[in-house]
Structure formats: structure tokens, C-alpha cells
């Protein structure tokens, strides 16, 4: 049980924020959960901030009274990032949803943290540019930055790590800093931008993000192709990557996930392990890429290579892929999903998936597999009945085996979802205690009172 | 004057390293300078280490006796990075020059810190892969990592920031940590890799580097083209970048630098502002790129578009570009060069160079300009007589104006050379004091006794 918020503190918040500071039960409840399977936890108060300056003042108060503060916008975390497990203030950023400026001439956009990725791309549409990072969910740019998100386009465009140029951040002491400039590269100072990207709200609160944007591709073409086994599919991808073919996306969907997608999206895809491809560029470049890919696919017994060059067909196909998570939730009534997220060196991907499949075959849980396989990243969607403790236990047992196998193969416990509450212990297995101690030193030096999203990422 | 090394300390080093620890004057002198114009400073001892474990033990002793330690390999720094200005130990890493492993199947190479970039590419030649980062000098991979180096290929392949996947680092307390895995992406933990990339030996000593490698391009083609004015040349580049044409390199060489190159490399290039282009990819893709570029070049009055598709012609051209620094040194007998290194948003590049040219016209110093203009990065090579204090003063005055102008235009004081001793004060102008204080907190938490390359990057 958390001690109540100090009354001096709540008075100061009321003065500063008026009705935008609230302890009303309905609002607290609304801020008690995310997309993870964790049970809800209520904050002790919610603040709706309108500006960086307001957040700086709020954090100063939180620091003074040692009250935890947990930033949240879209709330699409799968790992419990935004649950206020030590109480304190949920900082709702959704009023800060403005696209501040777009600079096509510098391939840059500057946005507030609660801007959603779809909103940004809608705004960019007529400029001839787009922002490629696409984690599936319509997440906020601030949240995507804080978790180093990526998704289907990362194989071509990289992750948030490569696509955030600079940040405005409020530190634990309530200072406002800029972590970089608008120059494309720099050797100036410690790389604070990359330190805050992926820091999950534990080192500072991101209040403005400068992003790279890209010219919209001249042409886009998509295709799907099914394989006798998942290992055949993955082996084809490995060869595509090793040849350096600049595919725009390549996604693996296993047999069970295809079944779920067919049901959910009313499609009629062949129920076999399947790759979704996207190609982009000049028509000549697409032609070259697809010829090479088709040849590789054939050599791994790929069949039913089907094209979708019309925008509507393509949109339908990728919408189905994006809805796969929700489709898989429908495999079992009233279920939730524990989602694994390992990423391994591409040469170990087939082995990693094959051994994982063997595990899954021995379990009673339904467990479709989706993968951003061009990056060596895949998700096992462990479908559980939240009312069955043994389901949760089994899911965590499988996840633990999948993670330890990935780490043994030179991989990481999380490719794109982040650590949150879920992977704190795996981090030690992945990095070793001495590296974790370096991370803890950094956390302690930047947030000595541990007010910033405590209980996430690291044990302090 | 530094106090002498404690005799207990030197005895321990003699026991550990035998003759690989020395205080001989000739060896100290050899470790007293780099490629910068700073006067030489001798270390108090030099250690030639053979392994990470040895370095860990050495750093433990340095920490115990509070002796500064400055790592060095190729010594090609332009900013005084490797000068032991507070005395202590110069850690010569040149025995650690092994390529540990190459994994073409994962597009990865693992190397010791003193491996030179040319050595790595010679080793990769027959594998069909290459390592693109090319700062001109045959620098060590460790040094390039520590300064976040880049060079001519960055416009296509990014900088060391994007191309280092993981590091082995010895911390100030002598612990050995791994900062990442061999997975292509990860959302796991704070981004220690990017924190150490560009930290200039001030946060830890890099003893192993995992790098991305790339398939060698199918075809390469090069061209040069001259322009009536430098602004025309730069405007053409800006348009190429904004259209997203995937050129491999584009380098600006101004009129004076072309004169220097003609003399030094016995060439007969037209003495006008000139762009060096390189294109790579399939022959069809090169054709598409060059047609577009040629059209743009024409619209900015570019002329004498000359092709070099034969490997020998291409090599001669790029060798001439790489030797430009040495060519410019020959513009004046007995000279040294103070090299500026600003990087600005590409839309501000023409303005930045134009205003800088106006400054230079009013100075007596010879000042050729070279630029990695696709990234918005350019160098003014301020040629000084090291025996003339007023030359040095004038060079620093011009550099200061160039830097402040770049910062005002949204740019950075250093695109690729790093901070070293030269840009410590500019960092405050670029980031503001609060951001610098965050950097200082990190430095203090990871190196509380300030033994790691003290006096560089930040004032502590």
C-alpha cells in the first residue's frame, strides 16, 4: 500500500493544473492498465499536461515530495510499462498531440509526444514524405521512442533508434534539455538521444521528438507466398537478407496465425506457413528485387506466390497482417495473450524457431507465431485464459525457455516491445551483472530519488 | 607538472607487463602527439596491452592509484583526443589488431580495437562483403568507434553510431562488460553501445567491436562535375538528397582544394568548385540514379560531367579526394592545418558555406573547403604557420565564427571528428548547460575518480 499523496503536494498540483489534476476514481481506473496481461494498478492522481514547461514544474514537485511519476499516452504497451506499480502520478500526455513542424527540405518532422503514428502519416501524406516505423498498434511517437519500437518496416528503415534525431526531455530535477540538433550526424558529446530512446520513462520524460522522414516510394508492390514448413520460409528470408536485397518488409505468419487471420479478416489464405513481402522503389528496381526473391522462394519450395500491386489489395493484405494480434485473441473466447519478443542473429533464426516449435508442440496452449523475420525478430503469441493460473504459469515457462534459448544463440530478450515489468530479470541473463550495474549507476545519477517510472527496466 | 607515478604502481605494472610497460623517453615521446596542431605532451608511462583481461587489471591499478589512462591506437585524431594532458599512462592498443571473426551469414564482423579499417576491408575482400565507414585516414576501428567517425560513405551507410552493433568495454572500476548482442535490433536496457560510441575514451576503454558489414555492391560508377559557384554545387546536392536518390557518396571540393589536389596528385581537374559522385547498385539502378543526378546537375549549371567507370580511374579519383588533406598541407611550406568540422541541416548548407566563404575572403589564411555535403558536413582547412601565433589565433577566431553560425542554423560543432580538447566550450553553446550537466553526471557516475582520458569532451 502506498502512503497517501502529501496534501501540500496535491495543493500545488491543483494550483498549477486546476481540473487537469484529478483523483477521481473513474479517471484513476482509466489509467490502471495497458495492453499487457498484468492486473490493473491505480495511480494516486492523474495530471493532463499541456506543455513541456508544465511537466518541468510537475516533475520538480514530484522530486521534492518523492512522488513517482509515470508518463502515458496511447497506453499500447505489452509489457506493463505504464502501470503505476508504486503509486504516484500518471502523467497523461494526450493533450500534447500536435505536429509542431514538418521540414521536407531536411527530411525531418518535429512532434509532441502524444502524436500517433497514423496521425503523423495522415499529415505527411500530401507532402510526398512518410514516417516508416510501424509497430502495428497506433502507438504514440513518445511511447515508441521510449520503448525503442520498430515493426514491419525496420528491415528497410531501422528502428526508433535510427529514426529519432533529437529529443526534448524533462529530467528528474525538472530541467528541460535538448539532446541533439537537426543536423543529420554529429560527434558532439555523449549520445543522450540514444540514451533516452528506449529508456522507458525511467531517465527523463520525453516531451518533443525530432524524427527522420522519408520520400514516399515511387511504387509499392506486395506478395504472399506459402511454404511447406516454417523453416523453409525462414531459410528463404535468411538468403534474401544475406544477399542484401533491399526489401521493404518481410513478415512470417505461421499456419495457426493464418487460420486466425482467415477467420478474423474473412480471407481465404492457404493455411500454411506464409511470408508477406513488400517491395518498393522504381518499377525497374522492384522488378529486379522480385525476380531475385522469387528465385530464392522457389528454391525453398515456396508456392502460391501471389501479387497484390493494387493499393486496395495491398492494404487489405497488410491490414490482415496488422490485425493478426486481434485475430489470435479470437482463437479462444475470453483469452489474453502473453507475447514473446526475442530477436536473434539471422543465421540462428531457423534453429531458434524450430526448437521453439518443439516446445510449443508439447504444450496445451495455443501459440501462433508472427515474425519480423528480416530482422531475426519473432513473436510467439501465447494464448491464455486469464482465469487459469496454470495457463499464465505455462506461458511464462515457455517464454523463459524461448528467451534463454535466444540469449544462448547470441540474441536478445526483446527485439521491440521493451522491458517494462516483464523482462527485468532476463536483462541480467542477457547482459551480465556488471553491465546492469553500469545501467543502474546511470539511473541513480540521473534519478537519485527513483521517481521516474519506478519498478520498470531495472531493479534499483 | 604532474606528480610522479607512485612506485608501488609502477612495480605492479612491471610485474604484470614486463617490458611492455616502459618509461623510456623515446617511447614516451612517440606517444606525445596526434594529427592535431596541439603541442606535444608526454605521458609518464606507456603500456602495450595484449588482451581485455590485461586492460581490466591495468585499469584497476589506475583506479586504485588515481593515475590517468589514455587509450591510443592509430593516433589519427585531429582534436587532441590522445594527448595525455594530465600525465599518466598511454595505453597503446596496437598489439590488439586481430580480426576475431567474420560472420557473412549475419552481416557482422568482430574485431579488436587496433584493427585498421583498410586491414578489415582487405580481409573482407574475398568474402563479398565490406565495411563502409571511411574517414579518410586509415584509422583504427576502436578510435573510429570512440569518436563516432564517419566520412565519405556516411550519406549511404550512416556513421559508426549506426554501424556498431555491440562492444566489449573495460569500465573505470576494471569490470569487463558486453554492451549488446549480435541481434540486429533490441529494446533491451539502456543503449550502452551508443553511449560508449563517441565517448572518446572518457567512460570506458573499448576492447572489442562488433560491426555491421555489407554485401559489396554489384557495380560502382563514379563521376566528377564542376560548377560556377560553390553554392550551385551545394544546391544540386541538396536536391539530390531531398529526392532520396540513394547515391553512395557525394563530396564537395572547392576551387582552392582542387588546385592543391592537381598539384599534389598530378591531375588536371578544372579548377572550379567540384562534386565527386559515386553510384552503386545494379547496372539498372545506377543508370536510373545517374540520369536523375545529371538532370539536377545541369539545372544548377554543372558542367564537365566526367565518368570513371573503370576501377583504376575511380581509384585514382577517390585517392585524390582522400589525399586532399595532405595536398592542402602543401599549399604552404611547413604549415599545419586547423580543421573545422561543422554539420548543419541540409537546407542550411548553402547559407552556411556562403557566409563562411565571406569570412574567409576577409582573412589572410589559405582555407580550402572539403565537404561530405550529402550529410550537411564540411571542413574548412585553415592552413597556418605553426610558428606564427597570430595565424593560430586567426584560425581559432574563424573556427569559432563557423561553429556559432552552424549552431545558430540548427547544426553541430562537430560532424565526425569529435570534441577532444578543441570543442569542449562549444558543447555548452550547442547543448546548453543543463544537458552538459546530464553528461557530467553520467561521467561522474561511471568514472568517479576521473581517470579515463581526463580533460577531454567535458570539464568535470
List strand residue ranges (DSSP E) for A73-163, in order.
89-92, 99-103, 108-111, 129-130
List strand residue ranges (DSSP E) for A255-385, in order.
274-281, 303-308, 336-339, 369-372, 377-384
**How many residue pairs from chains A and B have C-beta atoms closer than 8 A?**
288
Predicted pLDDT at B311: 84
How far is residue A56 from each of residues A172, B436, B455, measured CA to CA in Å? 9, 18, 32
Give the C-alpha separation, B411 to B345, whole Å.
Answer: 6
Which residues in A15-54 are b (16+ Cβ under 10 Å) and which e? eebeebbbbeeebbeebbbbbbbbeebbbbbbbbbeebeb
Phi, psi values for residue A299, rounded to 5°: -70, -15
Residues of chain A positioned with their CB less than 8 A from the CB of B77: none
Residues of chain B positioned with their CB less than 8 A from the CB of A435: 177-179, 189, 192
Residue A138 — very low, low, confident or very high, per pLDDT cuts 50/70/90? Answer: very high
List strand residue ranges (DSSP E) for A297-456, in order.
303-308, 336-339, 369-372, 377-384
Asked if residues B201 and B456 have their Cβ atoms less than 8 Å apart, the reply is yes
Q: Does the pLDDT value for residue A449 go beyond 90?
A: yes
Which residues in B212-224 are b (16+ Cβ under 10 Å) and which e? bbbbebeebbbbb
Q: Under DSSP, is residue A77 helix (H, G, I), strand (E, B) or coil?
A: coil
Predicted pLDDT at A308: 80
Nearest residue to A144 (alpha-carbon basis) of A156, A158, A161: A161
Phi, psi values for residue B304, rounded to 5°: 60, 35
Please, what is the average pLDDT of chain A? Answer: 95
Average pLDDT estimate for A313-325: 88
Average pLDDT estimate for A273-285: 92
Give the C-alpha separation, B69 to B454, whole Å.
Answer: 8
Predicted pLDDT at A92: 98
Nearest residue to B372 (alpha-carbon basis) of B402, B404, B416: B416
Give the C-alpha separation, B269 to B266, whole Å.
Answer: 9
Q: Express each pLDDT in A63-77 by its tens digit.
A: 999 999 999 999 999
Average pLDDT estimate for B218-225: 92
Residues of chain B positioned with their CB less than 8 A from the CB of A423: 188
Instruction: Write down the architecture of domain A99-215 according to CATH.
Output: 2-Layer Sandwich (3.30)
Asked if residues B397 and A166 have their Cβ atoms less than 8 Å apart, the reply is no
Predicted pLDDT at B36: 87
Our separate counts of H helices and E strands in chain A read: 17, 18
Q: Does the CB of A429 have a partner CB in chain B at under 8 Å?
A: no
Q: Does the pLDDT value for residue A1 go beyond 80?
A: no
Nearest residue to A441 (alpha-carbon basis) of B370, B189, B186: B189
- Report ipTM for this prediction: 0.97
Q: Does the pLDDT value for residue B201 go beyond 80?
A: yes
Predicted pLDDT at B305: 78
Instruction: Centre a 10 Å sphere on the Cβ of residue B186 and count the other Cβ atoms it contains.
Output: 30
Give the C-alpha separation, B233 to B357, whole Å.
Answer: 14
Q: Best interface-test mutation with A: which of B60, B102, B170, B185 has the largest number of A CBs within 10 A? A: B185
CATH 3.40.462.10 in chain A, residue ranges: 219-408
Q: Does the CB of A176 have a partner CB in chain B at under 8 Å?
A: yes
Give the C-alpha separation, B456 to B460, whole Å.
Answer: 9
DSSP assignment of B176-215, as one string? EEE---SSS----SS-HHHHHTT-TTSS-EEEEEEEE-EE
Average pLDDT estimate for A342-362: 96
Average pLDDT estimate for A190-202: 98
Average pLDDT estimate for B411-424: 97
Percent of chain A at pLDDT above 70?
100
Q: Does the pLDDT value for residue A296 go beyond 90?
A: yes
Q: Select from 1.20.58.190, 1.20.140.10, 3.40.462.10, 3.10.590.10 the CATH code of A219-408.
A: 3.40.462.10
Q: Does the CB of A292 have a partner CB in chain B at under 8 Å?
A: no
Q: Does the CB of B179 have a partner CB in chain A at under 8 Å?
A: yes
Terminal CA-CA length for chain B: 19
Residues of chain B positioned with their CB less than 8 A from the CB of A177: 431-432, 434-435, 438
Q: Does the CB of B168 have a partner CB in chain A at under 8 Å?
A: no
Selected residues 345-374 of chain A with any CB under 8 Å from a CB in chain B:
345-347
Give the C-alpha separation, B265 to B321, whole Å.
Answer: 9
Q: Best interface-test mutation with A: which of B184, B286, B403 has the largest number of A CBs within 10 A? A: B184
Average pLDDT estimate for A19-43: 95
Nearest residue to B374 (alpha-carbon basis) of B268, B246, B267: B246
Selected residues 129-148 of chain B with any CB under 8 Å from a CB in chain A:
147-148
A22 vs chain B: nearest CA distance in angstroms?
31
List strand residue ranges (DSSP E) for A76-175, in order.
89-92, 99-103, 108-111, 129-130, 164-170
Q: Does the CB of B176 have a partner CB in chain A at under 8 Å?
A: yes
Predicted pLDDT at A377: 98
Please, what is the average pLDDT of chain B? Answer: 95
Q: Express each pLDDT in B52-69 by its tens digit.
A: 999 999 999 999 999 999
Residue A305 — very low, low, confident or very high, per pLDDT cuts 50/70/90? Answer: confident
Nearest residue to A275 (alpha-carbon basis) of A250, A239, A240: A250
Phi, psi values for residue B157, rounded to 5°: -110, 0
Q: Does the pLDDT value for residue B322 go beyond 90?
A: no
Nearest residue to A409 (alpha-carbon basis) of A419, A401, A398: A401
Contact A411/B183, CB-based, under 8 Å? yes
A3 burial via Cβ count (<10 Å: 0-12, 13-18, 19+): exposed
What's B305-342 look like in SS3? EEEECCHHHHHHHHHHHHCHHHHHHCCCCCCEEEECCC
How far is residue B434 from each of residues A55, A439, B255, measured CA to CA in Å? 16, 21, 42
Nearest residue to B368 (alpha-carbon basis) of B308, B318, B430, B325: B325
Percent of chain B at pLDDT above 90?
90
Contact A345/B106, CB-based, under 8 Å? yes
- CA angle, B315 as apex, B309 and B318 as ends, to 5°? 105
Asked if residues A76 and A322 have their Cβ atoms less than 8 Å apart, the reply is no
Sign of the dihedral defined by the CA atoms of residues B451, B455, B458, B460, in that order: positive
Nearest residue to A258 (alpha-carbon basis) of A333, A306, A320: A320
Residue A439 — very low, low, confident or very high, per pLDDT cuts 50/70/90? Answer: very high
Q: Does the CB of A432 have a partner CB in chain B at under 8 Å?
A: yes
Across the beta sheet with A45-48, the strand order is A21-22, A45-48, A89-92, A69-72
Residue A327 — very low, low, confident or very high, per pLDDT cuts 50/70/90? Answer: very high
Nearest residue to A188 (alpha-carbon basis) of B159, B383, B123, B382: B159
Give the C-alpha separation, B115 to B130, whole Å.
Answer: 14
Contact B188/A427, CB-based, under 8 Å? yes
Nearest by CB to B185, from A159, A190, A238: name it.
A159
Q: Which three cell numbers, joined as nine digits, stand for A220?
A: 509499392
Which residues in B335-349 are b (16+ Cβ under 10 Å) and which e? bbbbbbbbbbbbbbb
Asked if residues A61 and A67 have their Cβ atoms less than 8 Å apart, the reply is yes
- CA angle, B95 as apex, B93 and B98 as ends, to 5°? 105
Is 0.95 topped by the overall pTM?
Answer: yes
CATH topology of domain B7-92: 3.30.43
Q: Pick the residue with more confidence: A448 or B136?
A: A448
B446 vs chain A: nearest CA distance in angstroms?
7
Average pLDDT estimate for B110-126: 98
Amino acid at each position: 500500500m502506498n502512503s497517501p499523496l502529501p496534501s501540500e503536494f496535491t495543493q500545488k498540483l491543483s494550483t498549477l493544473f486546476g481540473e487537469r489534476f484529478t483523483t477521481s476514481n473513474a479517471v484513476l481506473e482509466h489509467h490502471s492498465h495497458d495492453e499487457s496481461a498484468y492486473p490493473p494498478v491505480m495511480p494516486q492522481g492523474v495530471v493532463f499536461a499541456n506543455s513541456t514547461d508544465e511537466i518541468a514544474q510537475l516533475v520538480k514537485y514530484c522530486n521534492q515530495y518523492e512522488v513517482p511519476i509515470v508518463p502515458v499516452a496511447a497506453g499500447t504497451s505489452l509489457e506493463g510499462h505504464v502501470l503505476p506499480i508504486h503509486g504516484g502520478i500518471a502523467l497523461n500526455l494526450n493533450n500534447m498531440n500536435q505536429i509542431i513542424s514538418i521540414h521536407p527540405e531536411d527530411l525531418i518532422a518535429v512532434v509532441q509526444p502524444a502524436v500517433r503514428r497514423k496521425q503523423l502519416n495522415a499529415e505527411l501524406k500530401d507532402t510526398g514524405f512518410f514516417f516508416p516505423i510501424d509497430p502495428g498498434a497506433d502507438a504514440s511517437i513518445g511511447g515508441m521512442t521510449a520503448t525503442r519500437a520498430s515493426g514491419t518496416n525496420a528491415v528497410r528503415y531501422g528502428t526508433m533508434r535510427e529514426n529519432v534525431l533529437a529529443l526534448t526531455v524533462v529530467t528528474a530535477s525538472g530541467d528541460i534539455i535538448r539532446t541533439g540538433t537537426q543536423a543529420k550526424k554529429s560527434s558532439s558529446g555523449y549520445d543522450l538521444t540514444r540514451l533516452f530512446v528506449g529508456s522507458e520513462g525511467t531517465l527523463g520524460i520525453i516531451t518533443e521528438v525530432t524524427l527522420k522522414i522519408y520520400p514516399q516510394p515511387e511504387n509499392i508492390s506486395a506478395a504472399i507466398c506459402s511454404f511447406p514448413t516454417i523453416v523453409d520460409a525462414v531459410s528463404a528470408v535468411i538468403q534474401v537478407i544475406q544477399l542484401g536485397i533491399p526489401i521493404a518488409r518481410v513478415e512470417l505468419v505461421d499456419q495457426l496465425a493464418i487460420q486466425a487471420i482467415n477467420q478474423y479478416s474473412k480471407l481465404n489464405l492457404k493455411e500454411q506457413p506464409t511470408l508477406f513481402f513488400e517491395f518498393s522503389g522504381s518499377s525497374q528496381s522492384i522488378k529486379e528485387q522480385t525476380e531475385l526473391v522469387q528465385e530464392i522462394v522457389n528454391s525453398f519450395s515456396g508456392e502460391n506466390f501471389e501479387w497484390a500491386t493494387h493499393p486496395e489489395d495491398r492494404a487489405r493484405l497488410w491490414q490482415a497482417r496488422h490485425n493478426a494480434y486481434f485475430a489470435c485473441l479470437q482463437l479462444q473466447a475470453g483469452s489474453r495473450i502473453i507475447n514473446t519478443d526475442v530477436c536473434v542473429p539471422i543465421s540462428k533464426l531457423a534453429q531458434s524457431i524450430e526448437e521453439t516449435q518443439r516446445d510449443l508442440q508439447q504444450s496445451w496452449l495455443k501459440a501462433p507465431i508472427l515474425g519480423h523475420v528480416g530482422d531475426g525478430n519473432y513473436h510467439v503469441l501465447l494464448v491464455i485464459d486469464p482465469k487459469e493460473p496454470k495457463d499464465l504459469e505455462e506461458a511464462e515457462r515457455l517464454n523463459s525457455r524461448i528467451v534463454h534459448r535466444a540469449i544462448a544463440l547470441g540474441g536478445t530478450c526483446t527485439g521491440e516491445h521493451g522491458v517494462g515489468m516483464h523482462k527485468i530479470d532476463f536483462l541480467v541473463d542477457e547482459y551480465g551483472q556488471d553491465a546492469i550495474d553500469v545501467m543502474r549507476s546511470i539511473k541513480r545519477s540521473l534519478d537519485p530519488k527513483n521517481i521516474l517510472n519506478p519498478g520498470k527496466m531495472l531493479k534499483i
